[in-house]
Homo-oligomer: A and B are copies of this chain.
Amino acid sequence: MATVQDLISAISLVYLIYFVKSGMAAHPNFIIMLMDDMGWGDLGVYGEPNKETPNLDRMAEEGMLFPDFYSANPLCSPSRAALMSGRLPIRNGFYSDNAHARNAYTPQDIVGGIPDDEILLPEILKKAGYRNKIIGKWHLGQQPQYHPLKHGFDEWFGAPNCHFGPYDNKKTPNIPVYKDKQMIGRYYQDFLIDRETGESNLTQIYIQEALTFIESQVSSQEPFFLYWAVDATHEPLYASKPFLGTSRRGLYGDVVRELDYGVGKILNKLRQLGVQENTFVFFSSDNGAATYAKIHGGSNGPFLCGKETTFEGGMREPSIAWWPSRIIPGQVSNQLGSLMDLYSTLASLAGQDIPTDRVVDGLDLTKVLFGNYEIKRPLFYYRGNELMAVRLGEYKAHLWTWTNSVQEFQRGVNFCPGQSIENVTTHDQVNHTTEPLLFHIGRDPGEKYIIKPNSQEYKDNIGSIKQAVKQHRANLVPGKPQLNWCDKSVMNWSPPGCEKLGQCYNGPSSNPKKCVWPH
């Protein structure tokens, strides 16, 4: 009878054969699964105590785990703009300088959006013959000139802005849901989300959209890029009826379970269609869990604070790479990674160059994925127009600390519930640039123990960090800020296609004002 050892040897052999075989495949398919406000600690494989993500845990077992992977920003729109452009928000314009170090995004009265001169990932892949689809939340501008189909995507099913509300749909229009270039309805009025029960079929629709697209692309033999940007873990949370009440974690857990189910459905579809060996899938999230949402927010595991902050909880993401036959299963990479790296990595895998006329922050991680190589690089934590912190190796230096204002905190807005660290989770914007607050993230992932500035360890490590900052600043040409101006006239009053639905509303006349970003 075969022993377990024999079987393990046989499996290794199978993978080796797959590896050699698939090395020849050109134009692999790509799927980026980007969650919304999901935290590092929300997956079983990342230590969520209820262990309710069997599909993601299996994905990790079959793929490569990236526990040191980051978003480029602690907030949704800038993080997504960075992912799509391969560049920090400070470069691509997804920030505001209305005030210092403020998180800005794209509510529906924002005037700006992704600039035309940013070359987005789908534009690069299109040159290699890819068909590109975005499912879910775009968040790079709701005015038509900013839409995904103007920036490299071929298909779209989803919304330009966050699904929160509800709005009075005439005084303030509900967010439209698009199919490609035209809206096909609006949240709440057409795409129901029950704010009382959390019931909605949206995730099911997003799953089905993904499966249909994959099937269609496989049958046409055209390589594809699917950007699956589902948003159910962003408030208001929603899940379909069969998932409601099924989690030990309450509604948030129900939502995670449905997304995990969706991941399983998509990976299984790839297997069923026999394209799993030619499809690179990357799972991550746009920023840390929204700890301010209390039990409606996710978990950042052992990390400090959450979304909106440049502590680890704000930007460290639950990331998994999956590519049977190319990525050896069960590996862990401690590569310091960024969502921006997907830009350069996917371009590289598609045989395309990235732009050379500008700084691209994303690195090509193919060596990391296929050789478990580790690339040394600094990682920059921005909040709006300010470089707040830098990580280099295991060390992280805070140049500035801030959670939110005392006033906001006293009104009950808390980005660090249950956590408080003297001189770290400050409610004033504190400038540490001359003597940065230094932490060793490896032994102190919770950023609790400041390394004393007079210690040898501090002296040994601060120099290279300061050097990295200096070099970064020397090469920095800030983009024109896109998130400075707000104007109610640009809201989703009359999106393309509204006339067919009788949903064209009259907005007010233009009255641009500087947006107010409280934190």
Which residue from B40, B65, B420 sits with its C-beta under 8 Å from A418? B420
Is A1 an interface position by the 8 A CB rule?
yes
Is A367 an interface position by the 8 A CB rule?
no
Contact residues in B for A41 (Cβ distance below 8 Å) = 47, 301-302
Bound state CA distance, A41 and B304, in angstroms? 15
Check B419–A51 contact: CB distance below 8 A. no
Q: Closest Cβ of chain B: how far from A393's Cβ, in Å?
A: 9
Is A245 an interface position by the 8 A CB rule?
no
Copies of this chain in the oligomer = 2
Against B, the Cβ 8 Å flags (1 = close, 0 = not) of A261-304 are: 00000000000000000000000000000000011000101101
A 416-473 contacts with B by CB, 8 A: 417-421, 440, 442-446, 448-449
In the complex formed, the residue of B with least CB distance to A11 is: B7
Bound state CA distance, A253 and B441, in angstroms? 13
Check A51–B248 contact: CB distance below 8 A. no
Check A302–B304 contact: CB distance below 8 A. no
In the complex formed, the residue of B with least CB distance to A41 is: B302
Is A4 an interface position by the 8 A CB rule?
yes
Q: Closest Cβ of chain B: how far from A6's Cβ, in Å?
A: 9
* Given A1-B14, A14-B2, A14-B4, also A252-B51 (CB < 8 A): no
Q: Closest Cβ of chain B: how far from A21's Cβ, in Å?
A: 10
Check B445–A250 contact: CB distance below 8 A. no
Q: Closest Cβ of chain B: how far from A331's Cβ, in Å?
A: 10
A 392-410 contacts with B by CB, 8 A: 394
In the complex formed, the residue of B with least CB distance to A251 is: B443
Contact residues in B for A1 (Cβ distance below 8 Å) = 14, 17
Check B7–A295 contact: CB distance below 8 A. no
Which one of A1, A51, A65 has the greatest number of beta carbons of chain B within 10 Å?
Answer: A51
Check A442–B248 contact: CB distance below 8 A. yes
Which residue from B10, B61, B65, B253 sits with its C-beta under 8 Å from A442? B253
Is A216 an interface position by the 8 A CB rule?
no
Is A188 an interface position by the 8 A CB rule?
no
Which residue from B247, B253, B334, B443 sits with its C-beta under 8 Å from A250? B443
Contact residues in B for A421 (Cβ distance below 8 Å) = 418
Is A48 an interface position by the 8 A CB rule?
yes
Q: Closest Cβ of chain B: how far from A421's Cβ, in Å?
A: 5
Q: Closest Cβ of chain B: how far from A50's Cβ, in Å?
A: 6
Bound state CA distance, A295 and B46, in angstroms? 21
Bound state CA distance, A440 and B49, in angstroms? 13
Contact residues in B for A420 (Cβ distance below 8 Å) = 418-420
Contact residues in B for A180 (Cβ distance below 8 Å) = none
Contact residues in B for A10 (Cβ distance below 8 Å) = 2, 7
Is A249 an interface position by the 8 A CB rule?
yes
Bound state CA distance, A248 and B334, in angstroms? 10
Bound state CA distance, A7 and B449, in angstroms? 48
In the complex formed, the residue of B with least CB distance to A43 is: B47
A 329-358 contacts with B by CB, 8 A: 332, 334
Bound state CA distance, A449 and B292, in angstroms? 12
Contact residues in B for A67 (Cβ distance below 8 Å) = 49-51
Check A332–B444 contact: CB distance below 8 A. no
Is A496 an interface position by the 8 A CB rule?
no
Is A107 an interface position by the 8 A CB rule?
no
Check B443–A249 contact: CB distance below 8 A. yes
Bound state CA distance, A249 and B302, in angstroms? 14
Is A512 an interface position by the 8 A CB rule?
no
Is A386 an interface position by the 8 A CB rule?
no
Which one of A40, A67, A247 has the greatest number of beta carbons of chain B within 10 Å?
Answer: A67
In the complex formed, the residue of B with least CB distance to A61 is: B61
In the complex formed, the residue of B with least CB distance to A312 is: B49
Check A50–B334 contact: CB distance below 8 A. yes
Is A44 an interface position by the 8 A CB rule?
yes
* Given A68-B49, A301-B301, A420-B420, also A294-B440 (CB < 8 A): no
Known: A4-B324, A252-B443. 12 other contacts (CB 8 A): A7-B7, A7-B10, A40-B49, A49-B67, A50-B334, A250-B442, A295-B440, A299-B445, A417-B448, A418-B419, A418-B446, A418-B448
The 5 closest A-B pairs by CB, nearest first: A47-B47, A250-B443, A248-B442, A418-B448, A51-B332
Contacts A/B (CB < 8 Å), 28 sampled: A1-B17, A4-B14, A4-B324, A7-B11, A7-B14, A40-B49, A46-B47, A48-B302, A49-B67, A49-B68, A50-B334, A51-B67, A51-B332, A61-B61, A248-B442, A249-B442, A249-B443, A250-B440, A253-B443, A294-B448, A299-B302, A301-B301, A301-B302, A302-B302, A418-B420, A418-B446, A418-B448, A419-B419
